[in-house]
Structures are given as C-alpha cells and as structure tokens.
Structure 1
Amino acid sequence: MIAQPEPRRKRWIKSPLPDTPEQQSFIQHLVQTLGISPILAGLLVQRGVCSFDEARLFFRPDISHLHDPFLMQDMDRAVQRLTMAILRQEKILVYGDYDVDGTTSVALFYGFLRTFYANTDFYIPDRYKEGYGISQAGVQWAADHDFSLIVALDCGIKSVDRVAEARALGIDFIICDHHRPGDELPDAAAVLDPKRDDCSYPYNELTGCGVGFKLLQAYCIFQNIPVGDLYNFLDLLAVSIAADIVPITGENRVLAYYGLKVLNKTSRPGLKALIKIAGLNRELDINSVVFGIGPRINAAGRIKHARAAVQLLLAETDEEAEQAAFEINENNNSRRQYDSSMTEQALAMIRGNEELVHAKSTVLYDATWHKGVIGIVASRCIEHFHRPTIILTQSHNKLAGSARSVPGFDVYEAIEECADLLEQFGGHTFAAGLTLSEENLPAFQKRFEEVVAQRIDEEMLTPMIKIDLTIDLDQIDGKFYRILKQMAPFGPQNLQPVFTTEAVYLAQQPIIMKEKHLKLILRQKGSDNTYTAVGFGMAHYAPELSSQQPFSICYQLDENTYNGNTTLQLMLKDIRVAEL
C-alpha cells in the first residue's frame, strides 16, 4: 500500500482578481456577448480570454488553427530527406524513447508511415541495457540491418556522438525532439526542436510526439496526401500530451481537444483494450489518460521492455490487443508493488536522519531500487517532503537518477550547476534524469543541497493550492458546471478551476469512508440548499468540524453518477477551520 502523506497545512494562493477598469470592461463584454455569469467571465479573463473572438477560439478549438509546420527550423530539410528516402526505397528506422511520449511517438509515426511505405521498422532502446536517448547499440542495430535513415522521436537533441557514429556508418538522422538542446546540435540531416534558440516556430511546448506529428503534417502537405488521414492518429498524440504534463495551451490545446475526440471513439484495438482494463467507463479527459492509460503504457518499459507498449498500440485485432493489455496491466501491478516498498524505504531514510529531515532537497541512493520506478518514488517523496528530490539506483556500474521538483523551482538548472560531477543529464524544469559515478555521490549531494538552498524561496517548500475565485455555494448550478466543462481540456496553464467558499457549515455529521476519506453535507448561512463534498485522504479533518463552527473550503467541481442519477459534488482539496 502506498504511503499516505502526513497532514500538512497548505498555502492557499489566490489568483489576482481581474479588477482593473480594463479587465472589468472585458468581463462585461463577455457577460453580454456569451450570456454567461460574471464569475465565469472572470475565469476567462484570468486565463487571458478577453474578447468574443478569443472566447470562440478557446471554447471551440479548430484544427485549422494548427501552425504551418514549415515555420519550424529545419522542417524543409527534414521533409526533403524523408522524401528522398522514400523515393529511393531506403530502409527507415523509427526510433523512440521508452516512456509514454516516446512510445506513442513511434506508434503514431511508424503507424502512419507504414500506411503508404512498407520498408520501415521501429526501435525502442532497453531502459536498463541502453539507457535514455540514442544508444550505441541502437545505431549498430540499424547499421547491421541496413537502415540508412533514422527518425528519432522524443530524444536525440543531445546525441552528438551517436549521430556522428551513425553518419560514419552511412546512416542519416532526422531528430524530432522537444527537450532543451545542449551547446552543440547533432550533425543530423535535420534537427526539429522548437526549443532551439534559432527556431522561430510560434509554439515551443509540443511533446516529442507532437514534433513527429508536425513532420508528418509537413510531409502530407508537400506530397498532397490528405492530412485528414493523419488526424486519425490524434488519439495517440492526446495520450502523449496528457502523460508528458505539457501546457494545454496554444497548439497543444487544439491537438488535445481533437485528440480526445478521436480517443473517445477510437477504433484502435490497443487503446480500446487499455481503456477497458483500466476500467475507464466514462468520457475520457486528460486526467483519465494521466492516471488510467499513461501508467500502464509506462509500465511496459519500467518493468520489462517498452517495445511491448508500441506493439499494443499498433495491434490490429481485439484479441491481440487484449492479450497485450493484460500483460502490460500485470507489469503495472508489479510497478505498484515496487513503488510502494521503495517509497516506504525512502521515507524511512529521510525520517531517520535529522539532517535530511531539515534539508532543502532530497538526494537518496539505494543500489537495490528498481530503476524503472525511481521517478515515481521521487514524486511520492515530494508529497511528504515538499522539496526538489532525486532518487538514485545502480545501473551499469554507475548511479542513475531521476529528479522531480516543486512548483516554481527549476531542477534542471540546479542539476546543471553540478554538471562537472555528472556523466550526463537532461530533462525539463520539473523533471530530469542524470548519471554519475558512485564516488561522486557525496560531493553531488552536498553541491545540489547548496544550490537548492541558495536558490529556492522558503514558500516553495510549502505545498500550494492555487485558487481561482471565491464564490458562494448557491452560485453553483447545472448551467454553471456545463460551461465550466467547456473550458476543458484541463492541464498545465489551463488547470481545472479551484474555488473557495467561506463560512460553510455541516448540515449533518461527517462521514468517514474506508477509514481515510471524508464525505460532508454542507450548507451556507441563509440558504436551505445542501451540497455534497468529498475529500480523499482527508478523514483527519473530521474531529475539527462541528455543526456550530463555520469553516472554509477549497474545491473543484465534478459530477457523480449513482444508480443512473447524476449530481454535482465538491471535490475538496483542503479545509480551514480557523482564519475565516
């Protein structure tokens, strides 16, 4: 069983109210033109939606809003090289990382490419034997099997040496990546990465799968292939966007919006089997993918080999897909067991060391920990000790680590300050991977703690709940929720709104569910209406609550369907008995 975090007081950070004269004018404009309440109009203005036209784009994303793929640096070179390879009947290898973004990238690119070109195959590196990125073994495999072009997806931007080795063997690379480049770009036929300093593409938060999609979109345009054929693969792209935790803004919002539509009516046997085995029996949204589909795809590479995930996503029959989904689900169950035991060990290491308890960062190592789960364990530790965390284990006579961060702190930059102690590293603001020699571990722990302590604000070390607006319970009704739902897909930079309501009372005694969850029936003074609220893992609040004492809540809205009846309920995120 996964350890529950200790009850902790959280910071409630209220978003600035749109209260300038200009913002108030925007709100009134939206109220009049959209026929919505001032509360909903205020939520839109907070998200930068200030006019009718902007609201139309926000509520009704259109596939025509996708950017011209040829605006991306090197796109013309990439399309020319891909075109040449197909005309010459060269063997093309689609190479991807072993996580969800990488495997969906390969399934999308290879799956679409083979609809009109047969001389192709795909390759996923072994997490444990080859590690992250372009591997020497992968390049050699391509050479041994006479491939002359490798399309690398969700990796490759820092693989300068491997690309040089491939070129010496007569193999070209097209790199489709979205990670930060190093000081030197690989000498590839084309390097597609919107985070390149010299790339003026209008949107730089695409996933690796998204960059691969843009290459195929450009190829379709160049070859007059109906781009609608490619849009049938947007279900895979939606999975990558959700699982890779990228902003749901701009082009990602359009791709996620249409991708979820495809996903909810997908005929892809592999995804249908995953949806079934995950028990996802309601309309899928970003959260469904993050918690239901993503972990199962990831588990293939964490426990065994990620090639199984691609084979599942490419399965052509329901029977084949259901068997593959069953095996991947078993891998996920094993992952959960590793996750639970390793988290308990890691928390015990922190709690048993006074210096670690009071540190600004966490860096833990155990040679027996499963490499495929260390990133998850880092996130679990942050749930208990809210600070940048790195979990390390042994891999090929080196220490391999996975880093996770807290809102507001760039863990990649902190790791970069320790680069002289590392063999290699890469990643994002909130997640990174690294490798180092065991003898450098004490120095790295010391340096990383010093860097974090110097850079992190004290407030970042306290869990935060970002609140959009304060409202009364009576302002919530069916129309309010229907419009709120249309603000989806929710995700980073367009999070599901969080509300606070003050001075609420118990309408009846709290109900404890399964010894750890809380169910409340609430009312506000002056109203006879009652509202059901549920707080997962919040049973510890029950003794503090009484029918005579008002308290404040923060929550999100959701629907609950039971015995065919659907009602609104408040999904609690925190409770404050004092400080009304």
Structure 2
Amino acid sequence: MSRITTRTPARTAFTRLTEAGTPPLLARLYAARGVENAAELDYELKALLPPTAMKGLAEAAKLLADTITAEEPMLIVADYDCDGATACAVGLRGLRAMGAKVDYLVPRRIEDGYGLTPSIVEQAALRHPKLLITVDNGIASVEGVATARRLGIKTLVTDHHLPGDTLPDATAIVNPNQPGCDFPSKHLAGVGVMFYTLMALRAELRTRGHFAQRPEPRLVDLLDLVALGTVADVVKLDHNNRLLVHQGIARMRKRCVQPGILALFAAAGRDPASATTFDLGFALGPRLNAAGRLADMSLGIECLVTDDARRALAIARELDTLNQERRGIEQQMREQAETMLSRMDIGEARALALFDPDWHQGVIGILAGRIKEQRKRPVIAFARAEGGLLKGSGRSIAGIHLRDALDLVSKREPGLLLAFGGHAMAAGITIRETDFARFARTFIDVIAESADPALFDPLLETDGALAMHEMTLEAAHLLERGIWGQGFPAPVFADEFEVEDQRLLKDQHVKLTLRKGDARFEAIRFRHSDPAPEQLRVAFRLSCNEYRGTQSLQLLIDEWEALREER
C-alpha cells in the first residue's frame, strides 16, 4: 500500500497563472507541476522550439537534400515499438512529400534484435540504398554504422536514446542527447527527432528552390503521428513535448489525421473527437506495439502510411487481434511471476531480476512494468534467446536511472553484459543464461548501494482535496482534455469519505457509494477485491461514466487508507 501525500503548488506561480486568466483549478495543478507562467501553457506552433540549436541538423538536412537532388534511394531503418513505427511513418510521409525515393526496413524483435546491427545493414544492402536513416535507434550502433561505411553506404542517425562512450562514425547524427548538443529539450521522442529533421530539410530545400515546381509539404499534417509516438514512448512531457502532443490531439479531435490513426481509434472503440493522452497511451499505442511484440512491426507501419481507409481499418483490426493475444500471454506470465515471487526470499532487495524459460521475449517489458508498479522497485525480466543468451527488458522507478545503473554493473563485472542500452525509466540488456544469477546479485547490489533508500518508501503523490463545487462532471471533462503524461502527471486528488455502500463487481472490482457531508459520489476501484474500511482517505481521479447514453461523475480510486479510530 502506498502512503497518500499531497503536492504543494508554488504560490507565486499560482498567482501569476490566475492573473493571466488560467482557471483556478488548472492554475493550482500546473503550479504544482512546475509551471511558472502562462508562456509555459502556450501550445501554439509559434512557441515550438526552433531546430537551429540541435546539433547535426544542418548536416543532416544537407545530406538528405543532396540525396533527394541526386534522386538516390534511401532506406529508413526503424525500431519495432510505437515510437519507432510513428517515426518511420513520419519519415516516409515527409520525405516522399519532398520528392525522396525512400523505403523502410524494420528489424524483427526476436530474430534480428534491436537497432542498426551489422546483419540488418547487410539485409538493407540488398536493396542498394545510397543512404540509411535510422529512426529511434542508431546512437549505439557503432558496428552497424561501420559495416555500412565498409559497404559504401552513408548513414544518418536520428535517435533520442542516451549515447555510450563511443559514438558511431555516421555521416550525420541528430540526437538532442549527444555530447555538445545545446537543444533545450532533451526529452524528444524518436518521432520528435524525425519531425525536427524534416523541418530542417524543408528549410534547406527552400533555399535551393526545390519547391518552385512542386508543392511544399505541410509538416503539421504529421503531428498526429508525432503525438502518438511521444505519448506512447513515455518520454517526459516538458513544454515542447506538450506542445507537440497538444497540436496532434487537436488534429485528431477534428479528424484531420492519417487514415491509420482513425482506424486505430475505431479498432479500440474510441472516438477521435474526444481524443485524450490516455487514448494514445493505453488504447492506440498498445495496438501498434502488439505488432512489434508478437509479429512484425511492418504491419503497424503499413497501417500508418497507407492512404486507403479500408486497408487501414483491416490492418487495425488485425493489430487489435494481436493485442488481445498479447494480453493473454501477459496474464499468464504475470501469474507465473507472482508464483515465482511468492517462493523467493526478497527480503530487503531494492531491485528484482526475473527469468522463466517459457516467457515471451516480446512481452517481458510489459511484465517488468507491471511488477515494478506492484513492488515499487526496478525490475528486469528475462526471456530466452538463441545461442544460450537471455534478452532482458527493465523498468525503473522515479529517481533511479536504469541505464546508468546497468553501466555501473558493466563496470563492476566486465564482460557480464553483452549489450545494453536505454534511458532512465526503461532499458534493454543481453546476457548469457549461465550468468543470470551473477547478474541478479550484481544488479541488486548496485541499486542498493547507489539509490536513496527514501525512493523505496511507496508514496502516491496527489493534488489534495477538491472543493465541493469542483467535484463535478464538468471538471472531469476539463481535466480529461488536458495534456498529461510522464513528468506531468494526470491529476489525482485526495479526501476523506464515509462508505455508505459497497459491493464486489465480477469478483475483482469494488464499487462504492461515498459520502462527504450531504454529498454522495459513485466510485470504483478496479482490480481490487478487498472491502473498503467504513471511514477512509481516498486517492482518486475524476472521470466521466457513460451508461446508456447518460453521463455521470465517477471517482476512480487509486488507493485508500483507513482513518484512525479516533476520527
């Protein structure tokens, strides 16, 4: 159980925001999330950070422009997650609109592994490209880029992951996290980096008079894809990312989107007219990711690049079927993990490394995330790969940088990690199966020695109580339409109630009627079967419950704690 705590909004920021016309409820929420003035809530395109400060963009733009002018073929090498798929789709649509001859290749998760490996370069070479463009990968592909150079193929790396000690010897690199890059936002997703690359390319082509005989592409028409990839990759929603997501969702609500986006909404049973960040992260994103986890992400990319609405819908339905299959596999793996954990002496271990020979390599990242949420500590789950190897996928908690922790493991035990990469909250790793126990011990020790013990005291940070006049369906609608996500969490409130009625739904959800004074509220706690205490403090979110065409306010309960008897 997590302790319920309350964020404290900065008083001066709250005052500035309300004086600028921000509604008091939103001003309080924004001030508690570090927003200091109304300019940080300006989501118009004119407020987008300019590309000029991003290292490598000028060189990338010239490289792409030269290749387009020479009518030479390009090949995008994508990643097999939602960020990689949307980045690939943005690249394909944008480059083709500028006259490029461009196709794509996406590795298969299990057969090919991650990134621009030498074997992927050899596959790509069979298509005779003059330029390889990586999206959402490549910054760690030192050997792959070297292979391309030996084969006479130029490389443009576009990525957002943290680099290793050695950068690949690419023709050009665009990555806000590479050394010497002064771009103010370090949190762009891979799709955001590709979008910026297209902006720089369009500017370069303008100077060359390229659009004198052809229409200049509207890159804003790609922002639905940018929004989806940004939210699904769970990057920090700083101002620049919130702007990109806001613009993309605004287009979704007007149905000014790619046919594949509309098809994904339809397959998920969601209405794009009321699109939210929740829809992108928990409805559309998982359906795209299912292709990369269980099949081939080419299926997801084709959904995003086709202009045939019927074909897009057919693919989206196939993705939905894959996602249902993924859910079944995930449930089985979770049950196996729980059985495993029940037999382990976890003790004071600050991290977990788990392995089962039957686990599916495409689902271990989700499993790690579920166990991390439940156990409130970093988790790496492993599955078998070929050649006596294990592939691991890890998820971390706030305050523990997972990739940096793995870097410490690699330095402490040279040769233990055959490959690793990622960022603060997620990482991938390859080890020998025979080294699993040694890795687990070392990983747990590194986390225990380097992490602040306070990070493991489970807290649920809330925005405190709402006034009764704010506990409304209108407030729920207002909040649902906000741009919330990683680093800018959706509002969770906390207050004290008495339980007037409760019952168990489907043996797994607690449905309640809560009372505060003369006011009564319907509430539900999903995936929780223990009865609620009669008097309790609740952490909850405002939501709209729709039943037979009628909407009503419902509190979604994240956590509760019993009040002391004297109360």
Calculate the TM-score normalised by the size of structure 2.
0.92
Partner of 2:376: 386
Partner of 1:11: 3
Partner of 2:549: 564
Partner of 1:73: 55
Partner of 1:96: 78
Whole-Å Cα distance in 2 between the matches of residues 470 and 267 of structure 1? 38
Partner of 2:116: 134
Whole-Å Cα distance in 1 between the matches of residues 554 and 216 of structure 2? 41
Contact kept, 8 Å, 2:163 with 2:178, in 1: the verdict is yes
Q: Say whether 1:494 aligns with 2:488.
A: yes
Partner of 2:21: 34
Instruction: Please show how residues 438-453 of structure 1 align to structure 2 within 5 Å.
Output: 438-453=433-448
Structure 2 SS opposite 1:313: helix
Partner of 2:357: 367
Contact kept, 8 Å, 2:74 with 2:129, in 1: the verdict is yes
Contact kept, 8 Å, 1:125 with 1:135, in 2: the verdict is no
Cα gap change, 1:464 to 1:153, in 2 (>3 Å): same
Structure 2 SS opposite 1:510: strand
Whole-Å Cα distance in 1 between the matches of residues 548 and 332 of structure 2? 37
Q: After TM superposition, give the deviation of residue 477 of structure 1 in Å.
A: 3.7
Structure 1 SS opposite 2:293: helix
1:311-349 Cα distance to aligned partner (Å, 9 max, x none)? 111122122122222222222122112111122112211
Which amino acid is 2:193 matched to?
V
Whole-Å Cα distance in 2 between the matches of residues 570 and 155 of structure 1? 40
Structure 2 SS opposite 1:551: strand
Q: Say whether 1:268 aligns with 2:268.
A: no
Partner of 2:292: 301
Bigger mean CA offset, 290-299 vs 141-150: 141-150
Whole-Å Cα distance in 2 between the matches of residues 36 and 330 of structure 1? 42
Which amino acid is 2:176 matched to?
P
Task: Give RMSD over aligned pairs.
Answer: 2.1
Partner of 2:523: 533
Partner of 2:232: 243
Instruction: Please show how residues 285-296 of structure 1 align to structure 2 within 5 Å.
Output: 285-296=276-287
Bigger mean CA offset, 554-563 vs 284-293: 554-563
Instruction: Please show how residues 101-250 of structure 1 align to structure 2 within 5 Å.
Output: 101-117=83-99, 119-224=101-206, 229-250=218-239
Partner of 1:555: 540
Cα gap change, 1:36 to 1:99, in 2 (>3 Å): closer
Whole-Å Cα distance in 1 between the matches of residues 359 and 456 of structure 2? 26
Partner of 2:562: 577
Cα gap change, 1:99 to 1:475, in 2 (>3 Å): closer
Whole-Å Cα distance in 2 between the matches of residues 243 and 120 of structure 1? 25
Which amino acid is 1:495 matched to?
P
1:33-78 Cα distance to aligned partner (Å, 9 max, x none)? 42733x5433232233344x43xx51x4101111221211011110
Whole-Å Cα distance in 2 between the matches of residues 76 and 136 of structure 1? 27
Q: Say whether 1:512 aligns with 2:504.
A: yes
Cα gap change, 1:431 to 1:439, in 2 (>3 Å): same
1:215-254 Cα distance to aligned partner (Å, 9 max, x none)? 0011112223677611111111111011100112221011
Q: After TM superposition, give the deviation of residue 206 of structure 1 in Å.
A: 0.2
Whole-Å Cα distance in 2 between the matches of residues 180 and 74 of structure 1? 16
Whole-Å Cα distance in 2 between the matches of residues 369 and 50 of structure 1? 46
Which amino acid is 2:498 matched to?
Y
Whole-Å Cα distance in 1 between the matches of residues 103 and 9 of structure 2? 53
Which amino acid is 2:67 matched to?
A
Cα gap change, 1:110 to 1:572, in 2 (>3 Å): same
Q: Say whether 1:430 aligns with 2:415.
A: no
1:275-297 Cα distance to aligned partner (Å, 9 max, x none)? 11111136121111111111111
Which amino acid is 2:369 matched to?
S
Whole-Å Cα distance in 2 between the matches of residues 491 and 384 of structure 1? 19
Cα gap change, 1:500 to 1:190, in 2 (>3 Å): same
Whole-Å Cα distance in 2 between the matches of residues 177 and 198 of structure 1? 15
Structure 1 SS opposite 2:176: coil
1:507-530 Cα distance to aligned partner (Å, 9 max, x none)? x321322222222222323xx232
Whole-Å Cα distance in 1 between the matches of residues 100 and 197 of structure 2? 18
Cα gap change, 1:390 to 1:482, in 2 (>3 Å): closer
Structure 2 SS opposite 1:372: coil
Q: Say whether 1:258 aligns with 2:276.
A: no
Structure 1 residue runs of 5 or longer lacking an equivalent are 1-8
Cα gap change, 1:40 to 1:83, in 2 (>3 Å): closer
Cα gap change, 1:33 to 1:241, in 2 (>3 Å): closer
Structure 1 SS opposite 2:501: coil
Whole-Å Cα distance in 1 between the matches of residues 49 and 427 of structure 2? 29
Whole-Å Cα distance in 1 between the matches of residues 22 and 450 of structure 2? 46
Structure 2 SS opposite 1:523: strand
Cα gap change, 1:142 to 1:443, in 2 (>3 Å): same
Bigger mean CA offset, 358-367 vs 407-416: 358-367
Which amino acid is 1:255 matched to?
L
Q: Say whether 1:331 aligns with 2:322.
A: yes
Cα gap change, 1:273 to 1:475, in 2 (>3 Å): closer
Q: After TM superposition, give the deviation of residue 201 of structure 1 in Å.
A: 0.6
Which amino acid is 2:464 matched to?
L
Whole-Å Cα distance in 2 between the matches of residues 177 and 403 of structure 1? 20
Bigger mean CA offset, 68-77 vs 207-216: 68-77
Which amino acid is 1:402 matched to?
S
Whole-Å Cα distance in 2 between the matches of residues 377 and 235 of structure 1? 28
Bigger mean CA offset, 183-192 vs 424-433: 183-192
Whole-Å Cα distance in 2 between the matches of residues 288 and 273 of structure 1? 13
Contact kept, 8 Å, 2:98 with 2:217, in 1: the verdict is no
Cα gap change, 1:218 to 1:339, in 2 (>3 Å): same
Whole-Å Cα distance in 2 between the matches of residues 247 and 187 of structure 1? 29
Cα gap change, 1:35 to 1:453, in 2 (>3 Å): closer
Cα gap change, 1:475 to 1:175, in 2 (>3 Å): same
Which amino acid is 1:493 matched to?
G
Contact kept, 8 Å, 1:266 with 1:272, in 2: the verdict is no
Whole-Å Cα distance in 2 between the matches of residues 417 and 563 of structure 1? 55
Q: After TM superposition, give the deviation of residue 458 of structure 1 in Å.
A: 3.7
1:152-178 Cα distance to aligned partner (Å, 9 max, x none)? 100000111111111111111111100
Q: Say whether 1:464 aligns with 2:459.
A: yes
Cα gap change, 1:62 to 1:145, in 2 (>3 Å): same
Q: After TM superposition, give the deviation of residue 571 of structure 1 in Å.
A: 1.6
Whole-Å Cα distance in 2 between the matches of residues 300 and 404 of structure 1? 21
Structure 2 residue runs of 5 or longer lacking an equivalent are none
Cα gap change, 1:430 to 1:134, in 2 (>3 Å): same
Q: After TM superposition, give the deviation of residue 462 of structure 1 in Å.
A: 4.3
Structure 2 SS opposite 1:111: helix
Q: After TM superposition, give the deviation of residue 495 of structure 1 in Å.
A: 1.3
Whole-Å Cα distance in 1 between the matches of residues 479 and 267 of structure 2? 29
Contact kept, 8 Å, 2:512 with 2:522, in 1: the verdict is yes
